[in-house]
Structure 1
Amino acid sequence: MTGVHIVRCARVHQPLSRGARVFVAGRRGLVGSAVWRHLVREGFVDVVGPGSAELDLRDRRAVLDWFESVRPDVVVLAAARVGGIKANATRPVDFLSDNLRIQVNVLDAALRHGVERLLFLGSSCIYPKFAPQPIREEALLTGPLEPTNDAYAIAKISGILQVQAVRKQYGLPWISAMPTNLYGPGDNFHPENSHVLPALIMRFHKARETGAPRVVNWGSGTARREFLHVDDLATACLHLLEHYDGDDPVNVGTGEDMTIREAAELVAKVVGYGGSVEWDTDQPDGTPRKVLDVSRLEALGWSPRIPLEEGLTLTYAWYREQLAAGTLRHG
C-alpha cells in the first residue's frame, strides 16, 4: 500500500477578505474557540458559529438548511467528538458515527453551496501506529492504526479523502490539516474523557489542594508525545487558508516531543506539586511515539511561538479561573 493518491496543485498566496463570512464549525470547543479568537484579532468582521444547541451538525437536514440561510464564504471544520485514550477505547461507535455524520453533513452542504475555501481539521492519530518518526504526511494509509483510537482515526481519514475527492471532482481549493496533540484554554477537563495534559493538570492540582502524598498516572510514562498550544494551531489555520492549496494534508505541530513522564514532571512544576509521582503500568501507553514532520508547513513560512512551559502556565491559570467561576468544561 503506497498511501493516498496525490494530485499536486499550485499553492495560493492570497489573503482572505476580512469581510468574508467565515463559519467556524465547533466554535465552542478547544480548537474552534481558538480559531474564532484569532480570526477576530485578525480583523474578520463576519465570523459565525452556532453552538450545538442551535445547530446539531449530526442532523443533515438542519445543516443543509443552515447553509442555505447563512451562506458562508469560508468554512473551518473544527467540530468533532473528541476524547482521551479511555473514551476512545470504550466508546468507538460514538466516535465513528458522530464524526462521520458531522463531516459528511458539513462537507456536503459546503459543496452544495459552492464554498470556495474550506479547511478540514483532522488529527495526528490518523497515522499508522508504527509510522517512521517524525511522521511525514506520506505515511497516511501505509500501516495499521493504534487500536485504542482507530474508530476516531478512520472517521478523520474519511474526511481527508472527501476533501481530496471534492478537489478532484469539482476543482475547489479545499485543504486538510493534521494537528498534533493540542492543549490550552477551552480544553476538556473531564476526569475520564480528557487528553493527557488536561488530565495531568487536573490530577496534580487536586493532589496539591488535598495534600496527597503521591499521584498515580496511567501507563509507564515512556511513550513520547508532541504538544502544541491551541492558539498556535489557530494561527496555522489562517496561514494555511491564505498560503496553501494542495491535495496533501499538512501536519501542524512543533516537530519536538518528550516522554509522558517528562510532561508530567513539567506539569507538576507548573502546578506546584511536590509529592511523589508513580506509574500504573497495567494501563495502556498507546502509540509508543508520535511526533510530526512539520517541514511542509515550515516551508510555507509558519512556525509555533508558544513554548510548552509558558503554554502550560497560561493553561493552568485559565483552569483555576474556570474552577473559581464554576464554568469548567467537563465533556
Structure 2
Amino acid sequence: MAKRFLVTGGTGFIGAALVKRLLKDGHSVRVLDNNSRGAPRRLAEVEGAYEMVEADIRDADAVAKAMAGIDCCCHLAYVNGTEFFYTKPELVLDVAVKGMVAVLDACRAQGVGDLVLASSSEVYQTPPVVPTDESVPMLVPDPLNPRYSYGGGKIICELMAINYGRTDFDRVAIFRPHNVYGADMGWEHVLPQFVLRLKALAAAQPTGALRFPIQGDGSETRSFNYIDDFTDGVAAIIAKGEHLGIYHIGAMEEISVADVARLTARHFGRELELVPGPLQKGGTPRRCPDIAKLSALGYAPKVTLAEGLPKLAAWYDANAHLAPVKG
C-alpha cells in the first residue's frame, strides 16, 4: 500500500538513495533538508516527483509543518563525516539532539505514529565481539574525545526514540548502517579520500609504485555496504520491522584497510607501497556487523566491495573538481 513519507536529510547520500527507492516503490515523498551538506543534484533524476522543504532540522516549526499529512517519518538528518566529528563536535551534537526533539514533537503533534530512525555503527566504538550483533552495549569511552560527539549523539537519539516510542508511537524502528558507500557519498570519508589522494599521487608520479601513507598498519578491518544493498535493507525494515526493533544494515565481508587501499589503486592501474602511520585516537581495529536479524526479514546484500568500489572510484575520479576547497 502506498504511503506518504517524510525523509529528513533527504538530499544527503543515503537520504537521497532512500527517497529514490521509496518513489520507485510507489510511495509519495516529502524531503526536508537545508542542503548544508546535502546536494540537490543527488535527486536530479527524480526532480518533480517529490516535494522539497528546505529547512534546518532544528527548526521545530518547519519540521512540524513538514510532518503534516505524513504516514511515516524516516529521520536521517545528521552531521556525518569523520572530519566533522573532530572539528565541529558541538555542531554534531546540536543537530543530533535538537533535531531529534523536533522530529519527536512534530510526530506527536501531527499524529504520525510510524518513525524509522537512522543510527550508526559508531555507537559501539570498539566492539568487544566481531561480528557484532545488536545486543552489544553502546559506549562512549572518553567524553573528552571529540570523535564521540557523533556516536554519543546517535546513542541519545536512540534512547529518545525508544522511550518516547513506548507510549506515543505505533512503531519506532532503528537501523544502524555499517560503512555505506557509493558514488557522490560526500568528501569526508575514507573511500573518496583514498581515490582523490591516489589520483593526485598518480598524476605526480606517472610510473612506479606509489608511496601511500595510511592510518595504522593496514591490518585494521571494516566491512562496507553498497548503497543499493543499503536501500534494500531500509525497505525491509519499513515493510517488516518490529516496534522498538533495532537492525544492522551492512555486509559481513570484512576487509583490511591495506586491501581497501590496494583495491582502490586498481582503478588507476597502480601498485602501492603502504606507509603505516598513527591511528586517530578513538579509531577501532575491527568492525563487522552480524546481520542475522535483518536477514530474517529477507535482506541479502548482493554487491561485493570488489564490484562496488570501482563505481565509486570512477565517479570521484571524474568529479574531483566538485570537491570543496579547504580554506
- The answer to whether TM tops 0.5 is yes
Is 1:236 matched with 2:233? yes
Q: 2:96 aligns with which of 91, 95, 99?
A: 99
Tell me the TM-score normalized by structure 1. Answer: 0.84
2:311 matches 1:314: yes
Q: Which of 177, 200, 210 lines up with 2:204 in the alignment?
A: 210
| Structure 1: unaligned runs, 5 residues or longer | 1-16
The answer to whether the Cα contact below 8 Å between 1:221 and 1:285 also exists between their aligned partners in 2 is: no
Q: 1:113 to 1:329 in 2, by over 3 A?
A: farther
Contact 2:194 2:261 in 1 (8 A): yes
CA contact (8 A) 1:75 1:117 kept: yes
Aligned to 1:49: 31
By relative contact order (CA 8 Å, sep 6+), the higher-ranking structure is: 1
Distance 1:257 1:145, change over 3 A: farther
Cα RMSD (Å): 2.3
Distance 2:61 2:279 in 1: 45
- Change in Cα spacing, 1:101 to 1:287, as seen in structure 2 (3 Å) is same
Report the 3-state secondary structure (helix = DSSP H, G, I; strand = E; otherwise coil) of the residue aligned with 1:137: coil
What SS does the aligned partner of 1:290 have?
Answer: coil
Distance 1:219 1:330, change over 3 A: farther
Partner secondary structure for residue 319 of structure 2? helix
* Mapping of residues 1-331 of structure 1, within 5 Å: 17-18=1-2, 20-44=3-27, 46-52=28-34, 54-68=54-68, 71-84=69-82, 86-141=83-138, 144=141, 147=145, 149-189=147-187, 194-211=188-205, 213-281=210-278, 283-284=280-281, 286-323=283-320, 326-328=321-323
> Conserved in 2, the CA contact under 8 Å of 1:130 and 1:143?
no
- Matched residue type, 2:34: S
Q: Which consecutive residues of structure 2, in runs of 5 or more, have no partner in the other structure?
A: 36-53
Query: Per-residue deviation at 1:110?
Result: 1.6
Task: Give the drift of 1:284.
Answer: 4.7
Render the CA deviation track for 1:197-220: whole Å, top value 9, x for unaligned. Answer: 121122112222332742222232
User: Structure 1 residue 320: deviation in Å?
Assistant: 3.3
Aligned partner letter, 1:101: K
Please give the alpha-carbon distance, in whole angstroms, between the structure 1 residues aligned to 2:325 and 2:109: 35
Aligned to 1:3: none
TM-superposed deviation, 1:114? 1.7
Specify the SS of the correspondent of 2:276.
Answer: strand
1:196 Cα deviation (Å)?
A: 1.5
Q: Deviations over 1:101-124 (max 9, x none)?
A: 222212221222121322101000
CA gap 1:310/1:280 in 2 versus in 1, 3 angstroms = same
What is the CA-CA distance between 1:318 and the residue it aligns to?
A: 2.3
CA distance in 1, matches of 2:199, 2:134: 37
Using the alignment, how far apart are the partners of 1:42 and 1:145 within structure 2?
Answer: 43
- Please give the secondary structure, in 1, of the residue aligned with 2:299: coil
Residues 216 and 280, structure 1, Cα contact 8 Å, conserved in 2: yes
**Conservation of the 8 A alpha-carbon contact between 1:117 and 1:172:** yes
Matches of 1:137 and 1:305, distance apart in 2:
22
**Distance change (3 Å), C-alpha of 1:87 and 1:220:** farther
Shift of 1:62: 2.2
Instruction: Tell me the number of residue pairs that the alignment of Structure 1 and Structure 2 aligns.
Output: 304
Change (3 A) 1:317 1:143: closer
Q: What is the rounded CA distance, in whole Å, between the counterparts of 1:155 and 1:35 in structure 2?
A: 22
Letter in 2 for 1:23: L
Alpha-carbon distance, 1:228 to partner: 0.6
Moved more, 26-35 or 155-164: 155-164
Identity of aligned residues (%): 26
Q: CA deviation at 1:329?
A: 6.6
Q: Deviations over 1:45-68 (max 9, x none)?
A: x21114305211122222223324
AA partner of residue 60 (structure 1) = A
Structure 1's 43 and 209: CA in aligned 2 closer, same or farther, altered over 3 A?
farther
Q: Per the alignment, do residues 94 and 273 of structure 1 end up closer, same or farther by CA in structure 2, a change over 3 Å counting? A: farther
**2:185 match: secondary structure:** coil
Letter in 2 for 1:209: A
